[in-house]
């Protein structure tokens, strides 16, 4: 059994700014690269207490080591349509080369796309 047997399909969202044709601008979001991700919600007493004082990074994600995910990226679950913002640098939490699981982890928060 493989870690990613339990992963869900996600998509990296790409922000696009386009002219509205009247001198203004509109922000749109387009689906980019698809990837597998394990995303877990922290519901420990400590995490829930932290949420009460404003901590929003209550999710931990795991992706394949080579996937080019970066701090600030927006990802979307293909199953639920929920969007999340990456709040850490995934390249800071990569498993050692000797490991058979070639993954990296990141923290994330639920995110509402701006219009």
Residue 63 is predicted with a pLDDT of 94
Report yes or no: 69 and 13 within 8 Å, Cβ to Cβ: no
Residue 45 is predicted with a pLDDT of 73
Domain ranges of the chain: 25-110
Distance from the Cα of residue 33 to its chain's centroid: 12
Global pTM reads: 0.82
Q: Going residue by residue through the chain (115 aa), what tens digit of pLDDT does each one get?
A: 566 678 899 999 999 998 888 999 988 999 999 999 999 987 777 767 776 776 666 899 999 999 999 999 999 999 999 999 999 999 887 777 777 678 899 999 999 888 6
Dihedral angle over CA of 28, 33, 34, 40, nearest 10: -70
Residue 60 is predicted with a pLDDT of 92
Residue 5 is predicted with a pLDDT of 77
Helix (H, G, I), strand (E, B) or coil at 69: coil
Least Cα distance to 73 among 47, 42, 104, 41 occurs for 104
Distance set, CA 88 to CA 6, 16, 23, 69, 92 (Å): 23, 23, 36, 10, 8
């Amino acid at each position: 059994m493989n870690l990613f047997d339990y992963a869900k399909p996600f998509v990296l969202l790409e922000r696009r700014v386009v002219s509205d044709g009247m001198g203004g601008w509109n922000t749109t979001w387009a689906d980019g690269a698809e990837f597998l991700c394990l995303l877990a919600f922290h519901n420990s007493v400590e995490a829930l207490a932290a949420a009460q004082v404003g901590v929003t990074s209550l999710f931990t994600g795991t992706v394949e080591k080579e996937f080019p995910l970066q701090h600030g990226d927006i990802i979307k679950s293909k199953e639920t349509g929920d969007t999340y913002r990456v709040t850490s640098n995934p390249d800071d939490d990569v498993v050692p080369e000797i490991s058979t699981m070639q993954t990296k982890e990141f923290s994330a928060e639920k995110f509402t796309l701006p219009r």
